[in-house]
């Protein structure tokens, strides 16, 4: 079993509830949404080494009705994590939106990106959610004007640049290709998977690097994923790009080489994230419009894309990229079809 | 001098003489039931029932004409401002009873229960009179407010023909006010919300101490001279654990910034400008920019820090627009 360090349901609690007896492997991955593919990575390594035959990766949270992520962090034992947050909390920089907005402001300044470019991401993602009965925004379209007139949360970010807060849970199972062949539904094959943390890495606040307009940790993950899989950006047919906020989608497009640094704006304005585009992305509606389950819902959408069962199924689906949280030590994978 | 117990017995003996007595003379309504007061009542409660307000609708209704809201029952007999002078009324035994309690130290009063029942709707022109009887007085009770006695009264309301139109029971507690518990005192005077505190440990307490001494410090490797912020125990460039500090001149330029609108956390003022400043010494720092309208902040803007007490226990290096050429 693998889950997030942030998860409030512990492994043996889940095992007791589900009726699982002998657990041979359990592991947690830190740093919020950065763990979304990290949990699959842990599972894959456990299966590969024989530590476990079948691993459940899960994430469940009461993001809406339980503890919310925007009330500041200042209590508890004095850990290095708490000392880290102390550089920000007294100054009121205490929400995920604010941390991302600090990078976004600089990115906009350097590359002439505007809020209208972020709107493209929100609008295209919502188109997918509209057709997904599981999505919070199922049947509720979003217009460009809706985005531009939505209230400011943390400038330069507006309401629809931010994902929702969700009560939800997701799980996926990682096992050997042999065992998967006997399963009721077709499996997706992990072609390449990796974790990564960059130099001078902080959790959400890596403000002290020479430049803050790119994601060194995601660049590192991208290099590994391509190297392990032997695939290149042009081999990727569709993607689930972690989208807790709209700007982070642009940065990842650059990290994974779908466009050059500073050019993601042109990529998204060209309709490339839509079903008819170069890289149909977040076909479930993403975290912006399906649900915020810390990226685990994206892992499952990646599997559906390979199976051909997405609510918004693109025509080509040989290889699907799935990424995890941005601004934190993170992870990603490329899924392919079982042999 | 009598013992407290004897005093209580004496008090309770005297209390018994009030039970069953009329609280005072009948309370005669100053005005007949009338539309103007009904409209005020309905406005205050946002009650839009046409039976109270719309003559035509009321006539067409089961009532056959305008009626008064039943819950106004007591309102028709309240004496207005003269209530505050009723203590001087020798016939008002309820006031006398309260004065007896006051003299024994039971100076607090709080209404705890009220029930009403209605025999018929009142209509414009009805004249109402209340007849109140002191129905019972409890033994001494310990309550959260202090120790005291519950007094129950029952008022019967009659119309101009002597017919009963409704009744009301009312219970008050006369008590010796206890010292309010700590939690209640805090509620009474809530502390001004403060900014979140930094957590202090070996690796950062010295930086916050520096601010208290009026210095914005930057950690410096003693071996290779590299500056680093946020601080850490070892130099990532040369792995030395030897370090000292440099006092920053506090001048720099805005590298990036955000303007926070939501959510609004107590202790901070919004919109809140948070800046990422490139200090002239070469390190970067998060802080707030003050004295500049959010719309006027821009990347590259020159700023300077002033260490300010944001509350008695927290000093922060807040940035303002630079006023003179930096060094």
pLDDT at B180: 65
Query: In this structure, are residues B165 and B158 in contact, taking their beta carbons and an 8 Å threshold?
Result: yes
Q: Is residue B326 part of a domain?
A: no
Q: What is the maximum span of chain B, computed from C-alpha positions, in angstroms?
A: 104
The model's pLDDT over A85-122, given as tens digits with 9 standing for 90+, comes to 999 999 999 999 999 999 999 999 999 999 999 999 99
The model's pLDDT over A229-281, given as tens digits with 9 standing for 90+, comes to 999 999 999 999 999 999 999 999 999 999 999 999 999 999 999 999 999 99
Compute the distance between CA of residue B216 and CA of residue B257 in angstroms, rounded to an integer.
20
pLDDT band at A289 (very low <50, low <70, confident <90, very high): very high
Q: Does A90 touch chain B (CB under 8 A)?
A: yes
Q: Are residues B12 and B150 in the same domain?
A: yes
Q: Does A45 touch chain B (CB under 8 A)?
A: no
Residue of chain B whose Cα is closest to the Cα of A159: B262
Compute the distance between CA of residue A41 and CA of residue A37 in angstroms, rounded to an integer.
6
Domain range for A206 is: 2-337
pLDDT band at B88 (very low <50, low <70, confident <90, very high): low
pLDDT at B1: 43
Residue whose pair of structure tokens reads 């101490």 in the numeric block: B209
The model's pLDDT over B148-170, given as tens digits with 9 standing for 90+, comes to 999 999 999 999 999 999 999 99
pLDDT at B143: 86
The model's pLDDT over A177-228, given as tens digits with 9 standing for 90+, comes to 999 999 999 999 999 999 999 999 999 999 999 999 999 999 999 999 999 9
Mutation to test the B interface, candidates A90, A100, A101, A212, most B Cβ within 10 Å: A90
The model's pLDDT over A183-192, given as tens digits with 9 standing for 90+, comes to 999 999 999 9
Distances (CA, A) of B85 to B80, B155, B170, B240: 10, 21, 21, 83
For chain B, the domain total comes to 2
Task: Report the residue from A92, A152, A212 with minimal CB separation from B256.
Answer: A212
Burial of A4 (0-12, 13-18, 19+ CB in 10 A): buried
Say if residue B4's pLDDT is above 80: no
Residue of chain A whose Cα is closest to the Cα of B319: A91
The structure tokens listed for B189 are 């005077």
Say if residue B206's pLDDT is above 80: yes
- Nearest-Cα distance to chain B for A88, in Å, is 7
Q: Which chain A residues are within 8 Å of B257, Cβ to Cβ? A: 102, 105
pLDDT at B80: 82
Indicate the angle between helix axes A247-255 and A115-130, nearest 10 degrees: 90
Chain A residues 250-289 with a CB less than 8 Å from chain B: none
Compute the distance between CA of residue A324 and CA of residue A304 in angstroms, rounded to an integer.
17
Cα B327 to chain center, whole Å?
50
Q: Are residues B77 and B226 in the same domain?
A: no
For chain A, the domain total comes to 1
Q: Are residues B226 and B112 in the same domain?
A: no
Say if residue B87's pLDDT is above 70: no
Q: Are residues B170 and B233 in the same domain?
A: no
pLDDT at B324: 72
Q: Which chain A residues are within 8 Å of B207, Cβ to Cβ? A: none
> B128: which strand partners?
none
Query: In this structure, are residues A90 and A241 in contact, taking their beta carbons and an 8 Å threshold?
Result: no
pLDDT at A65: 84
Q: Are residues B123 and B223 in the same domain?
A: no
pLDDT band at B186 (very low <50, low <70, confident <90, very high): low
Distances (CA, A) of A177 to A94, A192, A308: 44, 14, 19
ipTM field: 0.94
Q: Work out the average pLDDT over B259-283.
A: 96
Q: Work out the average pLDDT over B102-107.
A: 89
Q: Is residue B254 part of a domain?
A: yes
CATH of the domain at B137: 3.10.129.10
Q: Does A184 touch chain B (CB under 8 A)?
A: no
Indicate which residues of A carry an active-site annotation.
Answer: 242, 292
pLDDT at B187: 66
pLDDT at A69: 74
Q: Is residue B302 part of a domain?
A: yes
The model's pLDDT over A124-157, given as tens digits with 9 standing for 90+, comes to 999 999 999 999 999 999 999 999 999 999 999 9
Domain range for B181 is: 4-33+68-186
Compute the distance between CA of residue B259 and CA of residue A217 in angstroms, rounded to an integer.
26
Task: Report the residue from A80, A92, A106 with minimal CB separation from B268.
Answer: A92
Q: Are residues B232 and B314 in the same domain?
A: yes
Q: What is the mean pLDDT of chain A?
A: 95
| Residue at which a domain ends, from B124, B159, B186 | B186
Q: Does A91 touch chain B (CB under 8 A)?
A: yes
User: What backbone torsions phi and psi does residue B183 show, to the nearest 5 degrees?
Assistant: -60, -40
Residue of chain A whose Cα is closest to the Cα of B205: A83
Best CA proximity match to A206, nearest among A220, A223, A193: A220
pLDDT at B325: 60
Q: Is residue B283 part of a domain?
A: yes
B interface with A, Cβ–Cβ < 8 A, is 195-201, 203-204, 229-230, 236, 255-263, 265, 268, 271-272, 274, 276, 283-284, 286-288, 294, 299, 310, 314, 316
Burial of A109 (0-12, 13-18, 19+ CB in 10 A): middle
pLDDT at A165: 92
Task: Report the residue from A82, A87, A151 with minimal CB separation from B286.
Answer: A87
């Amino acid at each position: 079993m693998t889950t997030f360090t942030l998860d409030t349901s512990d492994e043996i609690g889940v095992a007791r509830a589900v009726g699982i007896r002998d657990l041979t492997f359990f592991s947690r991955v830190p740093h919020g949404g950065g763990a979304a593919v990290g949990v699959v990575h842990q599972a894959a390594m456990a299966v590969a080494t024989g530590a476990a035959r079948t691993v459940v990766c899960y994430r469940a949270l009461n993001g809406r009705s339980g503890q919310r992520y925007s009330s500041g962090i200042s209590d508890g034992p004095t850990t290095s994590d708490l000392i880290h947050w102390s550089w920000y909390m007294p100054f009121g920089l205490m929400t995920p939106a604010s941390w991302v907005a600090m990078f976004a402001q600089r990115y906009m300044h350097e590359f002439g990106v505007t809020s209208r470019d972020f709107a493209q991401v929100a609008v295209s993602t919502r188109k997918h959610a509209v057709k997904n009965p599981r999505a919070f925004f199922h049947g509720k379209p979003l217009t460009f004007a809706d985005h531009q007139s939505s209230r400011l949360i943390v400038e330069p970010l507006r309401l629809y640049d931010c994902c929702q807060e969700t009560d939800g849970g997701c799980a996926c199972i990682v096992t050997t290709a042999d065992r998967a062949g006997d399963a009721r539904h077709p499996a997706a094959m992990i072609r390449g998977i990796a974790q990564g943390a960059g130099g001078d890495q902080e959790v959400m606040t890596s403000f002290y690097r020479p430049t803050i307009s790119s994601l060194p940790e995601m660049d590192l993950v991208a290099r590994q994923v391509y190297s392990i899989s032997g695939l290149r950006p042009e081999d990727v047919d569709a993607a689930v790009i972690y989208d807790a906020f709209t700007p982070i989608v642009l940065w990842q497009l650059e990290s994974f080489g779908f466009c050059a640094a500073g050019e993601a704006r042109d990529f998204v304005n060209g309709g490339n994230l839509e079903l008819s585009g170069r890289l149909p992305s977040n076909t479930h509606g993403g975290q912006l419009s399906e649900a915020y389950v810390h990226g685990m819902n994206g892992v499952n959408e990646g599997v559906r894309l390979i199976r051909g069962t997405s609510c918004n199924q693109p025509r080509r689906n040989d290889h699907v990229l799935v990424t995890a949280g941005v601004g934190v030590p993170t992870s990603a994978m490329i899924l392919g079809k079982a042999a | 001098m009598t013992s407290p117990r004897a005093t209580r017995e004496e008090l309770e003996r005297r209390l018994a003489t009030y039970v069953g007595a009329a609280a005072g003379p009948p309370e005669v309504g100053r005005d007949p039931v009338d539309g103007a007061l009904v409209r005020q009542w309905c406005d205050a409660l946002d009650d839009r029932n046409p039976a109270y307000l719309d003559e035509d609708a009321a006539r067409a209704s089961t009532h056959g004409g305008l009626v008064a809201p039943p819950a106004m029952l007591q309102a028709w007999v309240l004496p207005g401002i003269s209530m505050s002078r009723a203590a001087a009324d020798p016939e008002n035994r309820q006031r006398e009873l309260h004065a007896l309690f006051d003299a024994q130290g039971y100076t607090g009063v709080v209404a705890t229960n009220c029930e009403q029942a209605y025999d018929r709707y009142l209509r414009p022109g009805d004249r109402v009179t209340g007849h109140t009887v002191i129905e019972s007085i409890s033994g001494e009770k310990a309550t959260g407010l202090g120790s005291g006695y519950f007094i129950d009264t029952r008022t019967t309301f009659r119309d101009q023909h002597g017919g009963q139109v409704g009744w009301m029971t009312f219970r008050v507690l006369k008590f010796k006010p206890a010292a309010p518990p700590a939690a209640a005192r805090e509620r009474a005077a809530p502390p001004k919300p403060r900014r979140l505190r930094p957590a202090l440990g070996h690796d950062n307490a010295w930086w916050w101490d520096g601010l208290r001494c009026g210095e914005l410090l930057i950690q410096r490797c003693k071996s290779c001279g590299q500056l680093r912020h946020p601080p850490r125990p070892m130099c990532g460039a040369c792995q030395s654990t030897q370090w000292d500090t440099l006092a920053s001149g506090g001048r720099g330029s805005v590298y990036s910034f955000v303007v926070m609108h939501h959510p609004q956390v107590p202790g901070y003022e919004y919109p809140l400008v948070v800046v990422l400043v490139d200090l002239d010494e070469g390190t970067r720092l998060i802080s707030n920019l003050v004295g500049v309208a959010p719309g006027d902040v821009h990347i590259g803007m020159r700023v300077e820090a002033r260490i300010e007490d944001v509350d008695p226990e927290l000093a922060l290096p807040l940035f303002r627009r630079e006023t003179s050429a930096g060094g």
